[in-house]
């Protein structure tokens, strides 16, 4: 039998590998020259030469190609270990392809066609290199860079929750109470039985994205459980009342939101994070608490609508709804509606409304508003307004540009333009008589030469207002002269802390920059030390930078970025990321925006965003999901802005900044293949002991299952957008990761105990409650997030333990 066909069939493998190595080597060489000229690593240049020569020798059928390839692979392995150690996900782009080619070259079909001296040294060298590379890959499976393993080790700190009283099985406000701790005293679900959680019911709201909606349509709602019902709102501001045991719809309210231009496409985003609840009986029945003074109109509302919901809508209204039947409380304000555009002045469609629920006190409903970032220097006021909770009349208003004048705005007047706003959720301590506001920036974010004295004092910080007068009691600024969009998006968490000096009433403020600022909520004095650290200088022409920035000793900052920390799916896009890194300006955190393009890390989305944190006040444990994603910010002189340029969202594309001398181009720091340029992990779950202020545990969280064309769940740790909750049973829940899961964790050690696949993105904060059947339920909204690219939907899903 002739073997010519078989022999011919084996000749293609070394030729194919030779062509591949030649092409890949030349690509590395070209990029390596560029990188070396920028002062970067010489590896790519040297390796490119070595791989290209190996390819040429394979095409020439020279056996020495094996030895040369083995030498380059061995050198690559040593280089990779020196750069990143035994970090599996960082070794993959550095070695995976070269290891695979090395294995192929060791196959008989690759070696047989080669000619030259019959020395075994070449094969031996290649074998050693392949084994060494494989051994590194194997050893890296037993390391956990960036993670912290530990256990809290206590069930109680002899502390109790200081949050307002409510039945254990209810969830009456966005953060469960107006203290915003997201802690439930329920304990039916434990680490020992959570595996028995199963779906109890699911409903579809029917509110899905349409062709008239913006890209960033999101479903970030955390429903309430009170008054024997669940109350949820949708992206188009519809409210549903549901049976907590079955999900059956009891009533529905549709405010018929409208855009002044007929479409919502031009809106920066569209969402409803929640509604607010007020019950007349809650205050009347309080021991020693006198009934609030109510006007005649307010008394009529109290009788007709004793239990009310307050709904902020996407067309800038605040509507009072009878929580019993879904009817508008006609006696409140103007036929049940407060027009939030009153006194605001002109703005583009979607440029002003509240995406977050109002804060509720015994007498007031207090609300801020979203203002479109980076649109212009003439945006609406960020005023915070307090209305009478009964009749809807304006009681006071606080404008950071006019902070001392809190008297209600006179008819026909307008609030100051472009003042710092509050788009997130406030917290309230009625015993101290204060509301705590997390403040944003005076827009635009990256250009600060137009900042007012009020903005320079209050922006990107927290301010505590007197509930009775609206006057500022104290404030603390976390980012001075903010040029990085470090607005405070997290709801402040109010908790009593056990310290070495005794128990203190604290407010914990998580921030985008990674610091958790812990202040005495009576006067703003730091409980955990805050240091002013020197930061990079040199803003664009006409602007300036603050010489220092405030950093809390309690923080979840990651290490600063380096060229070695650049990543990619392959060695080629990793090399291009290293080139990008060298071409951008980066001198550490708070590197100012520049015409060159600056790397902003942590980026615009931040380490903590609107999901905030959850705190177990009994165990004194903080549970959270920090993110680590870098952004690029490039200032473009006005005359160089291309005609027709447009934004993709508030954090991506060309941001116009009309009225400023610069537009800004912003985008996540990504490789040409669409993966982050910085190495994973990009998302974690973590817990902090609030007595020692130490990280107890920190683990990678989430997979790539829903972020890649091939649905493989690589456990790299992905970003999360949405908050956590924690329970007395010792279980925490989180649903905001880019993969579609609701997960349960043991809060003592961070172990993932259970997860359930969601039909759409779960970018919302879960909640938990007791049903009429006496069972503990866990509930999540799964509707997706447009600009994050998660699957859209319209689901609300509840779980309980199986019998």
Lowest mean pLDDT among 44-53, 106-115, 658-667, 777-786: 106-115
198-211: average pLDDT: 97
374-397: average pLDDT: 96
Q: Characterize the bridge pairing of strands 197-204 and 614-616.
A: unpaired
Please tell me the number of Cα atoms within 13 Å of 631 on its side-chain side. Answer: 27
Q: Per-residue pLDDT for 337 more than 90? A: yes
Q: What is the pLDDT of residue 287?
A: 46
Q: What is the pLDDT of residue 6?
A: 43
CB 310 within 8 A of CB 336: no
Phi, psi dihedrals of residue 509, rounded to the nearest 5°: -120, 100
Q: What is the pLDDT of residue 111?
A: 87
pLDDT in tens, 438-456: 999 999 999 999 999 999 9
Q: What is the pLDDT of residue 647?
A: 59
CA 243, 249, 253, 259 dihedral sign is positive
Q: Per-residue pLDDT for 12 more than 90? A: no
Give the C-alpha separation, 277 to 419, whole Å.
28
Q: What is the pLDDT of residue 444?
A: 93
Q: Per-residue pLDDT for 671 more than 80? A: yes
Model confidence at 163, pLDDT cuts 50, 70, 90, reads confident
Model confidence at 291, pLDDT cuts 50, 70, 90, reads low
The encoded tokens of residue 336 equal: 């049940």
Q: Per-residue pLDDT for 633 more than 80? A: yes
Q: What is the pLDDT of residue 293?
A: 80
Greatest alpha-carbon span in the chain: 108
702-710: average pLDDT: 91
- Whether the upstream peptide bond of residue 55 has omega within 30° of 0, thus cis, is no
Q: Per-residue pLDDT for 288 more than 70? A: no
Mean confidence (pLDDT) of the chain: 94
Q: Per-residue pLDDT for 651 more than 80? A: no
Give the C-alpha separation, 508 to 535, whole Å.
24
Q: What is the pLDDT of residue 639?
A: 87
Spell out where 273-324 has E strands: 276-279, 307-312, 317-322
509 by DSSP, 3-state: which?
A: strand
Which candidate, 483, 424, 482, places its Cα nearest to that of 634? 483
Q: What is the pLDDT of residue 8?
A: 53
Q: What is the pLDDT of residue 803?
A: 87
pLDDT in tens, 355-365: 999 999 999 99
pLDDT in tens, 223-253: 999 999 999 999 999 999 999 999 999 999 9
**In the annotation, is 485 catalytic?**
yes
Give the C-alpha separation, 565 to 630, whole Å.
12
Which candidate, 676, 764, 774, 769, places its Cα nearest to that of 718? 676
Q: What is the pLDDT of residue 409?
A: 96
Q: What percent of the chain has pLDDT over 90?
A: 88
pLDDT in tens, 562-605: 999 999 999 999 999 999 999 999 999 999 999 999 999 999 99
Domain ranges for the chain: 4-142
720 by DSSP, 3-state: which?
A: strand
18 by DSSP, 3-state: which?
A: helix
Q: What is the pLDDT of residue 646?
A: 64
Q: Per residue, what are the HEC states of 594-661?
A: ECCCEEECCCCCCCCCCCCCEEECCCCEEEECCECCCEEEEEEEHHHCCCCCCEEECCEEEECCECCC
Q: What is the pLDDT of residue 159?
A: 78
127-147: average pLDDT: 96
Give the C-alpha separation, 131 to 124, whole Å.
10
pLDDT in tens, 83-123: 999 999 999 999 999 999 999 999 998 888 888 886 789 99
Q: Per-residue pLDDT for 744 more than 70? A: yes
Lowest mean pLDDT among 302-306, 325-329, 671-675, 697-701: 671-675
Give the C-alpha separation, 667 to 630, whole Å.
9
Q: What is the pLDDT of residue 118?
A: 67
Which candidate, 476, 261, 487, 477, places its Cα nearest to that of 370? 487
Q: Per-residue pLDDT for 502 more than 70? A: yes
Q: Per-residue pLDDT for 656 more than 80? A: yes
Q: What is the pLDDT of residue 154?
A: 82
pLDDT in tens, 454-492: 999 999 999 999 999 999 999 999 999 999 999 999 999
Q: Per residue, what are the HEC states of 140-184?
A: HHHCCCCCECCCCCCCCCCCCCCCCCCCCCCECECCECCCCCCEE
Identified catalytic residue from 207, 315, 445, 485: 485
Cα–Cα–Cα angle for 294, 299, 300, nearest 5°? 150
Q: What is the pLDDT of residue 650?
A: 57
Give the C-alpha separation, 505 to 497, whole Å.
6
């Amino acid at each position: 039998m002739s073997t010519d066909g078989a022999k011919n069939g084996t000749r293609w493998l070394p030729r194919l590998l030779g062509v591949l190595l030649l092409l890949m080597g030349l690509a590395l060489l070209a990029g390596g020259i560029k990188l070396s000229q920028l002062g970067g690593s010489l590896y790519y240049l040297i390796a490119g030469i070595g791989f290209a020569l190996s390819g040429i020798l394979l095409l020439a059928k020279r056996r020495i190609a094996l030895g040369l390839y083995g030498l380059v692979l061995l050198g690559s392995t040593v280089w990779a270990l020196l750069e990143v150690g035994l970090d599996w996900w960082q070794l993959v782009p550095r070695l995976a392809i070269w290891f695979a080619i090395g294995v192929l070259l060791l196959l008989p079909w690759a070696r047989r066609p080669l000619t030259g001296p019959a020395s075994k040294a070449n094969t031996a060298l290649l074998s050693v290199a392949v084994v060494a590379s494989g051994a590194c890959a194997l050893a890296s499976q037993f390391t956990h860079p960036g993670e912290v393993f530990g256990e809290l080790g206590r069930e109680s700190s002899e502390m109790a929750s200081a949050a307002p009283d409510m039945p254990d099985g209810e969830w009456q406000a966005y953060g469960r109470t107006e203290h915003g701790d997201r802690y439930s005293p329920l304990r039916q679900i434990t680490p020992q039985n959570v595996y028995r959680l199963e779906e109890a019911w699911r409903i579809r709201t029917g509110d899905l994205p349409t062709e008239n909606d913006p890209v960033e349509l999101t479903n970030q709602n955390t429903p309430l459980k009170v008054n024997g019902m669940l109350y949820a709102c949708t992206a188009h501001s519809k409210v549903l009342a549901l049976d907590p045991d079955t999900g059956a719809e009891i009533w529905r309210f549709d405010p018929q939101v409208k855009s002044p231009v007929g479409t919502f496409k031009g809106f920066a985003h569209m969402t409803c994070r929640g509604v607010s609840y007020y019950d007349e009986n809650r205050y009347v029945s309080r021991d020693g608490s006198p009934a609030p003074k109510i006007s005649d109109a307010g008394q009529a509302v109290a009788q007709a609508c004793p239990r009310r919901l307050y709904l902020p809508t996407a067309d800038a209204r605040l509507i009072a709804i009878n929580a019993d039947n879904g009817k508008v409380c006609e006696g409140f304000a103007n036929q049940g509606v407060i027009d939030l555009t009153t006194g605001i002045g002109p703005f583009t469609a979607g440029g002003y409304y509240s995406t977050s629920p109002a804060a509720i006190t015994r007498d007031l409903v207090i609300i801020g508003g979203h203002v479109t970032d980076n649109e212009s220097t003439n945006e609406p006021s960020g005023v915070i307004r307090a209305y009478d909770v009964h009749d809807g009349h304006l009681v006071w208003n606080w404008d950071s540009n006019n902070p001392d004048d809190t008297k209600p705005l006179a008819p026909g007047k307008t609030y100051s333009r472009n003042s710092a706003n509050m788009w997130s959720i406030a917290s309230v301590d009625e015993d101290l008589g204060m509301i705590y506001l997390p403040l944003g920036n005076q827009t635009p974010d990256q250009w600060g030469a137009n900042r007012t004295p009020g903005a320079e004092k209050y922006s990107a910080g927290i301010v505590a207002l007197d509930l009775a007068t609206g006057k500022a009691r104290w404030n603390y600024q976390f980012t001075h002269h903010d040029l990085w969009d470090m607005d405070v998006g997290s709801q402040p968490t109010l908790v009593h802390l056990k310290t070495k000096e005794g128990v203190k009433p604290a407010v914990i403020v998580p921030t985008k920059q990674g610091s958790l600022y812990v202040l005495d909520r009576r006067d703003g004095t730091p409980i955990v030390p805050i240091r002013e650290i020197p930061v990079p200088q040199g803003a664009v022409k006409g602007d300036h930078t603050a010489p220092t920035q405030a950093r809390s000793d309690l923080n979840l900052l990651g290490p600063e970025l380096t060229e070695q920390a650049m990543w990619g799916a392959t060695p080629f896009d990793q090399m291009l990321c290293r080139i990008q890194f060298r071409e951008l300006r980066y001198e550490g955190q708070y590197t100012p925006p520049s015409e060159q393009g600056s790397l902003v890390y942590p980026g615009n989305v931040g380490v903590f965003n609107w999901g905030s944190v959850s705190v177990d006040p009994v165990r004194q444990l903080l549970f959270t999901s920090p993110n680590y994603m870098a952004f690029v910010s490039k200032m473009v002189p006005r005359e160089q802005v291309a005609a027709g340029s447009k934004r993709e969202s508030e954090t991506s594309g060309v941001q116009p900044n009309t009225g400023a001398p610069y537009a800004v181009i912003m985008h996540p720091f990504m490789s040409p293949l669409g993966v982050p340029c910085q190495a994973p992990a990009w998302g974690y779950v973590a817990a902090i002991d609030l007595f020692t202020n130490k990280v107890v545990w920190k683990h990678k969280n989430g997979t790539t299952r829903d972020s890649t064309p091939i649905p493989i769940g690589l456990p790299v740790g992905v970003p999360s957008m949405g908050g956590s909750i924690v329970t007395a049973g010792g279980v925490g829940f989180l649903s905001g990761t880019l993969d579609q899961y609701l997960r349960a964790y043991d809060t003592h050690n961070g172990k993932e105990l259970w997860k359930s696949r969601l039909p759409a993105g779960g970018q919302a904060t879960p909640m938990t409650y007791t049903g009429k059947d006496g069972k503990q339920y866990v509930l999540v909204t799964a509707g997706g997030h447009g600009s994050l690219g998660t699957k859209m939907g319209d689901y609300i899903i509840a779980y309980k333990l199986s019998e």
